[in-house]
Amino acid sequence: MKSVVKMMVGAALLTACGTLFAQEPPTALNSAADWNKNANVTDVDGVINVKKNNIILFSKKFDIDPAKKYTLKFSCRAVNMEKDGDRSQIYAGFNVFDKNGRTLNCFNCLPVPNTMTEVVEDAPKGAKTIKVKDASKFKKPYGTINAGAKADLSDLPNFNMLGNVTDFVQKDGVWEVSLQYPLRVPVKAGTAVREHLRGGYLYTAGIKSAGKDWITMSGTITGMKNGTWTGRVWPGGAVKAQVVILVNWNNKKLETQFKDVSLTVE
């Protein structure tokens, strides 16, 4: 049985906080007043207009049922273009949360294969390097190093992120992992660590460049799998979700219009 949510996209800058409202995907909402307020978002005759580059989101969150299929779909186009080649970069999908209401990010959920290792020397608070047994499979520049890693991935989602990895080199029989910022906490020798990857949201409806003509963006997410971060399956530990759209991401001078936004659950 299908329940269709007709959603007019008018939203606000994404914040890390927020109250968990809806337990189920929301019923039909056809007013911009049903969305978080944003001075750059207006609606006229069922069409939403978004100025500048913004992260916009539906104000209510819903419970995730991995057995159901969630299809996000809408039409969009760019307006106020200064030249023919102008395009609005659109990213659309879901923001997800764990059972405690914490936002899940890619670096909580997506480990780099074969990077689990062990710290070989105490690293004090404020240090910008961590020495480990093996970092030969690490990747850069989008990696993080997370503590409390377990081989069976039962630590996921992992919120023990120690820092962003900027480099890793082998010295004197061990590997030295360099961090972007100083450690906020000390790390003891023997701590199990693993590299994870950074990334954006779950872009279920994809990433497209919108021009002057209306285009459709659509995608479906279902099921749940630990150790993944993809717009086609919910990551392990995800309990709630909300629609999120990044608008005019490459050109803050543009305006983009949205219409016929729906979330179909079956």
Listed as ranges, residues in the chain with pLDDT below 70 are 1-36
20 and 95 together in one domain: yes
User: For position 9, what pLDDT does the model report?
Assistant: 39
Query: What integer pLDDT is reported at residue 26 of this predicted model?
Result: 55
Number of domains in the chain: 2
Q: Which pLDDT belongs to residue 43?
A: 85
107 to 222, 235, 260: CA distances (angstroms): 21, 12, 33
What one-letter code names the amino acid at 18? Answer: G
Domain of 115, CATH number, reads 2.40.30
pLDDT number for residue 5:
44
Print the domain residue range for 42: 3-105+200-265
Residues 57 and 166 in one domain: no
Position 83 scores a pLDDT of: 73
Single out the residue in 148, 179, 197 at which a domain terminates: 197
Choosing from 197, 230, 253, the residue where a domain stops is: 197
- SS3 sequence of 218-231: EEEECCEECCCCEC
Q: What is the CATH number of the domain that holds 52?
A: 2.60.120
Q: Clarify whether residues 142 and 258 are in a common domain.
A: no
Q: Which of 197, 228, 246 is the last residue of a domain?
A: 197
Which pLDDT value is given to residue 58?
83
Task: Tell me: do 127 and 71 sit in the same domain.
Answer: no
pLDDT score of 57: 82
Q: What is the pLDDT of residue 11?
A: 36
Model-level pTM greater than 0.75?
yes
Residues 158 and 35 in one domain: no
